[in-house]
Amino acid sequence: MPYPKNFVWGVASASFQVEGASEEDGTGLSIWDMYCRTPGNVFHGHTGDVACDHYHRYKEDVGLMKDLGVKGYRFSLSWPRIIPDGNGKVNKKGLDFYDRLIDEMLDANIQPWVTLFHWDYPYELYLKGGWLNPDSPDWFANYTKVAVEKLGDRVGHWMTLNEPLCFIAGGLQQGWHAPGLKLPLRECALAAHNVLLAHGKSVQTIRALSKKPVKIGFAPTGQRPVPFTDKPEDIRAAEESLNSATVLPLMANSWWMDPVFLGKYPEDGLESMGRFAPKVKSGDMKLISSPVDFCGMNIYNGDFVRAGKDGKPEAVLPPAGYNRTAQDDWFVNPPCMYWVTKWFYKRYRKPIVITENGHQNLDFVHLDGKVHDPQRIDYLHRYLLELEKAIDEGVPVEGYFQWTIMDNFEWAMGYKVRVGLVYTDYQTQERIPKDSYYWYKKLIASNGKSLH
Ligand code: BGP
């Protein structure tokens, strides 16, 4: 079966990774501004100060997307640009930027898919305890209200949070992302609970204040297991590991997704956390599981899993020399797209949107002045065939957002790796569409048929 008629082909980005203009128009500090300035955190001390200068060049960038033919652009709002203190006075100039961006997109016939929070947390709120503060869900709800009141007449798709696993387990527990803390499990679990409450409040706020029909979701990530062989026991083991929260519950898919879609924490995760688990007050789970419309998922790499001797899931390293990306421990494992999509639909019964998928590479401008990126084309080709297979088996997939429209600030890796369809020259801010851009353009124009 081909890709469905109304399939949303899109591209994605995030505010801190592309906007730059970090000191302009009254924007506030984010925890990523601070994190970048601690030596050793980010490759070569890179910062998001200028990034792709999207703040000033958004018209050119929307023009590129229009030429590419995308139907949707997933981007995020910068909370400290809109409310510099996180919860105080609204910065009109900051909010106006998104107003202009959205109008530009609508003129180009591109649907805005807005993520409210993609990691640039207001530093002033961090100083008040951040997600540990019991008021943090209300801060997020208030920020949502400001955003929806201004933009909700034109935005039909909202995502509350991007990858809570990364900013809680990565940012608060293991320290590889901002704010770079290594807090005990008890605090991290409490912060995670507040994040989920914030999601619930945000969903309700969007529903209540939108001036047009909306679809709401969020964009989680997590382990993406692939059965090591097609033996039924390996397939079962891989599926079990997808939903297991026994080891490192805050890194588990089910810790973040079960509360949202099923209204409860996974039993095995609660058991594993024991007395460090968050205290759930009555009404919390009802709020967290406020109905959403789609199940977003960011899918990149897949890890092999098989049934061990006891039948339990067991991780298996890929054979030496296995295809990999420029993101050190990420393997190219296309079947993860098929399996994970299928299994999440089975568990949560919500339409799926692939909110991110893309290939980290070390692209450069070739002697002919062009950027040839055959690995990215091959990667996308393989993953999209796997997605088609899931659709073919009846999984309702509504859209696919390629990460990312242009090379940008890739968090702790700074500008070292390039993930874009468009090459960014960070010295001149020239954009050069790569070969993969033209490949994706053809794919969109044929609604996926050019995969074959
Ligand atoms: C996801 C983030 C994106 C983007 C992407 C690419 O985890 O949501 O913001 O950065 O990963 O991966 P990486 O930055 O590791 O190359």
168, 330, 403: residue to mutate for ligand 1 pocket, most atoms within 8 A of CB: 403
Whether 149 and 142 have beta carbons less than 8 Å apart is answered as: no
Catalytic, 124? Answer no
Question: If you measure from the C-alpha of residue 388 to the centroid of ligand 1, how many angstroms do you get, rounded to a whole number?
Answer: 23
- Predicted pLDDT of residue 2: 84
335: which 2 tokens? 């079947």
Catalytic, 163? Answer yes
| Burial class of 309 by CB neighbour count within 10 A (0 to 12, 13 to 18, 19+) | exposed
Closest CA to ligand 1's atom 9: 14
Whether 148 and 216 have beta carbons less than 8 Å apart is answered as: no
Q: How far is it, in rounded angstroms, from Cα 260 to Cα 66?
A: 34
- Predicted pLDDT of residue 406: 98
Question: If you measure from the C-alpha of residue 308 to the centroid of ligand 1, how many angstroms do you get, rounded to a whole number?
Answer: 31
Whether 435 and 379 have beta carbons less than 8 Å apart is answered as: no
Find out whether the beta carbon of 403 lies less than 6 Å from any atom of ligand 1: yes
Helix axes 374-392 and 335-348, enclosed angle (nearest 10): 40
Q: Which of 163, 388, 398, 410 is catalytic?
A: 163
Domain ranges of the chain: 8-451
CA distances from 96 to 77, 90, 93, 222 (A): 11, 11, 5, 34
Find out whether the beta carbon of 12 lies less than 6 Å from any atom of ligand 1: no
Find out whether the beta carbon of 167 lies less than 6 Å from any atom of ligand 1: no
pTM, rounded to two decimals: 0.98
Q: Which of 19, 104, 239, 356 is catalytic?
A: 356
Find out whether the beta carbon of 356 lies less than 6 Å from any atom of ligand 1: yes
359: which 2 tokens? 């290939």
What is the CB neighbour count within 10 angstroms for residue 49?
A: 13
Of the candidates 150, 148, 126, the residue with the CA atom closest to the CA atom of residue 136 = 126
Q: Which amino acid is at 316?
A: V
295-298 β-sheet, strand order: 215-219, 157-162, 111-117, 72-76, 8-12, 397-403, 352-356, 295-298
- Predicted pLDDT of residue 1: 63
Question: Cβ contacts of residue 275 below 8 Å, gap of 6+?
Answer: none
Q: How far is it, in rounded angstroms, from Cα 431 to Cα 363?
A: 13
List the chain residues with pLDDT less than 50. Answer: none
> Rounded to a whole number, what is the distance in angstroms from the first to the last CA of the chain?
12
Question: If you measure from the C-alpha of residue 297 to the centroid of ligand 1, how many angstroms do you get, rounded to a whole number?
Answer: 12
11, 19, 74, 411: residue to mutate for ligand 1 pocket, most atoms within 8 A of CB: 411
Q: For tokens 């649907």, name the residue.
A: 111
Question: If you measure from the C-alpha of residue 218 to the centroid of ligand 1, how many angstroms do you get, rounded to a whole number?
Answer: 15
> How is domain 8-451 classified at the CATH fold level?
TIM Barrel (3.20.20)
- Predicted pLDDT of residue 327: 87
Q: Left if phi > 0, otherwise alpha if psi is -120 to 50, otherwise beta: which for 285?
A: alpha
Give the nearest ligand 1 atom to 411 CA: 14
35: which 2 tokens? 């994190």
Write the pLDDT tens digit of every residue in 271-310. 999 999 999 999 999 999 999 999 999 999 999 999 999 9
222: which 2 tokens? 């997590």
